[in-house]
A and B are shown apart, each in its own frame.
Chain A
Amino acid sequence: MTECECNPSFSRARMSELLFETYGVPSIAFGIDDVFSYKYNQKLGNCGEDGLAISCEHGTCHVVPFLKGEPVLGACCRTNVGGFHITDFLRQLLSLKYPYHSASITWEKAEELKKEHCYVALDYMSELQIFKNNKEEAEEKTRYWQLPWVPPPVEEPPSEEELARKAALKEKAGQRLRDMAAAKRSQKIAELEKQLSYLEELMEQLDGAEEEEATAILGRSGYLSQQEIKSAILKATQSLRKAKGESNGNEEKADASGVDKYPLVSVPDETLTPEQLKEKKKQILLKTTTEGRMRAKQRRAEEEALREKQEEERRLENPELYLEELRARYSELSDRVDQRKRQKLNGGKTNGNHNSSGGVGRGERLNAAQKERMRLLTSAAFDRGKGEDTFGTRDEDWLVYKKMSKDNNDDDDGNDDDESELARIASKIQDMDPTFVNKAEAVQQTPEPPKVRTLTAEDYRISIGIERFRCPEILFQPGMIGIDQAGIDEMVSISLRRLMEDEAVKERLCQSILVTGGCSLIPGMIPRLESGIRQFRPYLSTLKLVRAADPLIDAWRGAAAFAASSKFGRHTFSLADYREHGENLFHRYNIVYSL
């Protein structure tokens, strides 16, 4: 059974217990894997009797000196960094670098990447400089791992046929809708006509009938008076006309009906009852106001026309200047409108759906109205505590509520004026300059540029550049992952120092250094180790490093050779021995490796 250097007796005892009791093995020998590997390579002639074994394993690194073919355990040295740490470091770095792909960066994949792409830099600092300053060389050294990525389906433009089919469908649907609308309209017209004829009939009846008969007819029909029937007829004719699509001539009708609307105005006062007098007053008021409105409208139209004319003249006089002026005014107005909109949106409470900045946080700015509102609310809240409550004794107090209410869109009118003016100017500029783009329209045409970029193969590509040599570097600088121990090159000098032999012996050991263990397969390991160890050796001293014949299974081969030898029986112990001595058996247990 192979074990690590200085395996505690407890571990040996548990292992042998398991082997004896569960697997029923007849006898066991424990031996160190690095030593077996060294012995095997010694047999192959890769290293001598005296030498050093540098072994970079899965969880640890060891340096074991050999004297006369036997390991000197008192001088060996261990650092708790190994291949496991390299893989883990690589995995963590990559998953931190690509948080979106951390699911696909598995332990197995990291192991695979390590075996395939990692290398040891001969000089770590200069390699870093290359990656920092020399982009081309860095690019050359960077490897990419393309994750499985399926391009999103590209929408093909519909064929001619399909377009035609769609158009036909649309046309058909439209036709059906139109038919339905026409049917509905004709139905409505028929209904209205029927109603109208009935009402007219009713009127005729009423005209021809006596007083009592008339009230009976009225009672039957559900109308209160003749007047009401008349208005109903008027309404029916109007809606009929509308339904028939006779929209033209509306104005004249309105004018004509204007006289009819106020029948009492032209009637002298003496002939009227008090109620009618009141009615008359109301009608006069209404009439004057409508007339005033009409007049104002007319005046405005005249003004407009005048201004139009003036502008037209100026345009003809000097088109360039005119255009400039228009542009200036346009930009000014649009700025103003924009600013208003922003003010209104600011804080986002009045119309939150247009608000791009999200809800009102504590640090968010409030607009002036909102600030005032907050002030009122807080003052109201604090006044409560002042004992005597005088609120409501004065009428002005109640105005506070009005002020507090949210919807104070006082500035809307001015805003509307500006906007209409803006639209007018924009259309004018467009008339003169076809290239002009109206801002409002432009915004409407492209509502929102798509913020989400479609993912490309690039996004599914994991680049491994600096990580290629950064991860194995932890063997030489365990401090990089927070392990405060010497790196493998320094371990050699520590081991030699612990050996307490004179310089000649150390010199001899350094001429037969075997590098074994899985991590020694990382490219660049041997040159880097050599340069690292050379720093600790005297000037011009010789150094020879050899990689084991097969770093992965040489330990097993060595152990197999040991077990096959005739001396093997001397180093084993059986179940009987274990029963007799127990754990104490292992305290002094050390095999002799030399065959």
Chain B
Amino acid sequence: MESEVVKTEMVLAATFPFKKVQIADKYPKGQSRGRQWKHLRLLLQAADATSLPPDRPNYLNIQSPPSIYPPKRYCDITGFEAPYVDPRTKLRYADPEVFKQIRMLPDEYVQRYLALRNAAVVLR
């Protein structure tokens, strides 16, 4: 891929004829772009402020609610159904062999496994 792309100067081109404002002109090198991220809630509030009906669908309220099914618990290591939880690491496990494995795991891996289901301990 590379040779052709480089030949046509797609990657290296500094100016594109179809753009009115070139990126190099808008953001000169070495200057910070000064971009500020706004939170979604703020954006929606700004939109709602203009006297729109409150029940109008917006990005947040079309989200689906939590499932009506009781959440099933799966083993964090093997993926099988997990009837047990290790009280120390909080990892779910399916059988004693997995438990042995869990106890051998370094803490970093435990946290990564927990992070997979968004249950890792986050220090702030």
The reply to whether chain A is a binding partner of chain B is: yes
Is B103 positioned at the interface, with any CB of A under 8 Å from its CB? no
Is A23 positioned at the interface, with any CB of B under 8 Å from its CB? yes
Indicate whether A481 sits within 8 Å of B21 (C-beta atoms), given known contacts A125-B81, A128-B80: no
Is A480 positioned at the interface, with any CB of B under 8 Å from its CB? yes
Indicate whether A477 sits within 8 Å of B57 (C-beta atoms), given known contacts A21-B20, A131-B80: no
Is B62 positioned at the interface, with any CB of A under 8 Å from its CB? yes
Residues of B within 8 A of A490 (CB): 64, 67-69
Bound together, the chains give a CA A587 to CA B94 distance in angstroms of 51
Q: A78 contacts B46, CB within 8 Å?
A: no
Residues of A within 8 A of B38 (CB): 10
Is A249 positioned at the interface, with any CB of B under 8 Å from its CB? no
Indicate whether A78 sits within 8 Å of B50 (C-beta atoms), given known contacts A10-B43, A96-B112, A470-B79: no
Q: A6 contacts B59, CB within 8 Å?
A: yes
Is A229 positioned at the interface, with any CB of B under 8 Å from its CB? no
Least distance between A440 CB and chain B CB atoms (Å) = 36
Q: B64 contacts A22, CB within 8 Å?
A: no
Interface residues of A, dominant DSSP: helix
Least distance between A516 CB and chain B CB atoms (Å) = 18
**CB interface residues, B 1-20, toward A, < 8 Å:** 18-20
Residues of B within 8 A of A22 (CB): 19-21
Indicate whether A485 sits within 8 Å of B66 (C-beta atoms), given known contacts A7-B59, A22-B21: yes
Kindly identify which residue among A8, A481, A485, A583 contacts B64, using a CB–CB cutoff of 8 Å: A485
Fill in one digit per residue for B56-91: 1 if any A CB lies within 8 Å of its CB, else 0: 111100111111110110100011110000000000
**CB interface residues, A 543-595, toward B, < 8 Å:** 583-584, 587
Q: A466 contacts B57, CB within 8 Å?
A: no
Chain A: residues with Cβ within 8 Å of the partner, total of: 48
Is B52 positioned at the interface, with any CB of A under 8 Å from its CB? yes
Residues of B within 8 A of A477 (CB): 67, 71-72
Q: B43 contacts A467, CB within 8 Å?
A: no
Least distance between A102 CB and chain B CB atoms (Å) = 10
Kindly identify which residue among A125, A132, A481, A484 contacts B116, using a CB–CB cutoff of 8 Å: A481
Q: B67 contacts A76, CB within 8 Å?
A: no
Residues of B within 8 A of A99 (CB): 109
Q: B67 contacts A8, CB within 8 Å?
A: no
Least distance between B39 CB and chain A CB atoms (Å) = 11
Bound together, the chains give a CA A21 to CA B25 distance in angstroms of 13
Q: B58 contacts A6, CB within 8 Å?
A: yes
Is A9 positioned at the interface, with any CB of B under 8 Å from its CB? yes
Is A292 positioned at the interface, with any CB of B under 8 Å from its CB? no
Indicate whether A77 sits within 8 Å of B40 (C-beta atoms), given known contacts A6-B58, A467-B79: no
Q: B21 contacts A21, CB within 8 Å?
A: yes
Q: B64 contacts A128, CB within 8 Å?
A: no
Q: A89 contacts B72, CB within 8 Å?
A: no
Bound together, the chains give a CA A485 to CA B46 distance in angstroms of 26
Kindly identify which residue among B18, B50, B62 contacts A23, using a CB–CB cutoff of 8 Å: B18
Q: B57 contacts A6, CB within 8 Å?
A: yes
Bound together, the chains give a CA A470 to CA B80 distance in angstroms of 9
Is A486 positioned at the interface, with any CB of B under 8 Å from its CB? yes
Is A80 positioned at the interface, with any CB of B under 8 Å from its CB? yes
Bound together, the chains give a CA A78 to CA B78 distance in angstroms of 29
Indicate whether A8 sits within 8 Å of B80 (C-beta atoms), given known contacts A22-B19, A77-B64, A92-B116: no
Is A294 positioned at the interface, with any CB of B under 8 Å from its CB? no
Residues of B within 8 A of A494 (CB): 64-65
List 13 A-B pairs, Cβ < 8 Å. A8-B47, A11-B43, A22-B20, A74-B56, A99-B109, A125-B81, A128-B79, A128-B80, A132-B94, A485-B66, A486-B67, A494-B65, A584-B50
Give me the 8 closest cross-chain CB pairs, A-B, nearest first: A482-B118, A10-B43, A482-B117, A479-B71, A486-B67, A486-B64, A470-B79, A24-B20
Interface residues of chain A, those whose CB is within 8 Å of chain B, are: 4-11, 21-24, 73-74, 76-80, 89, 92-93, 96, 99, 125, 128, 131-132, 466-467, 470, 477-487, 490-491, 494, 583-584, 587
